Amino acid sequence: MLSEKLLSKMNEQITHEFFSAHYYLAMAAYFTKEDLDGFANFFIVQAEEERSHAMKFFNFINDQGEEAVITGFKDPKIDFKSAEEIFTLALEHEKLVSSLINELMALAQEEKHYPSISFLQWFIDEQVEEEANMSKLLSKVKRVGEKGHGILMLDKEMASRTFTPEAE
Ligand code: FEO
């Protein structure tokens, strides 16, 4: 069982995670258009991960005997201009998601809802990794620039990322 407030915030998080998937897919579309298929692959995999995050919340809400509420969301930005812009926005977005997860954890702690605290700990750890990934890639993209050999090498590196669904 979840309090009304915690349930409502968890439901909002489903929407945020699905929005993240859309946002990253829009970024993948930009890279596909630019023939940077490795970068596109990175964001397609990232979108898969975000969908799996949404499903974790969906399943947790169900397991608590509550009803998950699925809503729509705004259109993601699509007019990207560069790889640097994209990684800057992706890092900003992950920081926003981290703050939402932190707020959820603060609420779960305030309510001493231990199942939620335990569930949310995974997301706290995941966000550290997500921010670090985006931050590292932003510095790499800044270092190599938008044109030339460097970006193609980086693109090749990004092509190897795969999505591994977690065991339930
Ligand atoms: Fe689900 Fe990238 O945070």
**Whether residue 47 has its Cβ less than 6 Å from ligand 1:** no
Q: Is 55 helix (H, G, I), strand (E, B) or coil?
A: helix
The pLDDT value recorded for residue 167 is 60
Q: Which two tokens stand for residue 115?
A: 């199942």
CB atoms within 10 A of CB 120: 23
**Whether residue 97 has its Cβ less than 6 Å from ligand 1:** yes
pLDDT tens, N- to C-terminus, the chain (168 residues): 999 999 999 999 999 999 999 999 999 999 999 999 999 999 999 999 999 999 999 999 999 999 999 999 999 999 999 999 999 999 999 999 999 999 999 999 999 999 999 999 999 999 999 999 999 999 999 999 999 999 999 999 999 989 888 765
Q: Write down the CATH number for the domain with range 4-71+80-159.
A: 1.20.1260.10
The pLDDT value recorded for residue 75 is 97
Q: Which of 39, 26, 28 is nearest to 138 (CA)?
A: 39
The pLDDT value recorded for residue 166 is 72
**Whether residue 64 has its Cβ less than 6 Å from ligand 1:** no
* Separation of alpha carbons 53 and 6, rounded Å: 17
The pLDDT value recorded for residue 43 is 98
Alpha helices in 64-113 (DSSP H): 83-110
The pLDDT value recorded for residue 88 is 98
**If you take atom 1 of ligand 1, which residue's CA is the nearest one?**
50
Closest approach atom of ligand 1 to CA 126: 3
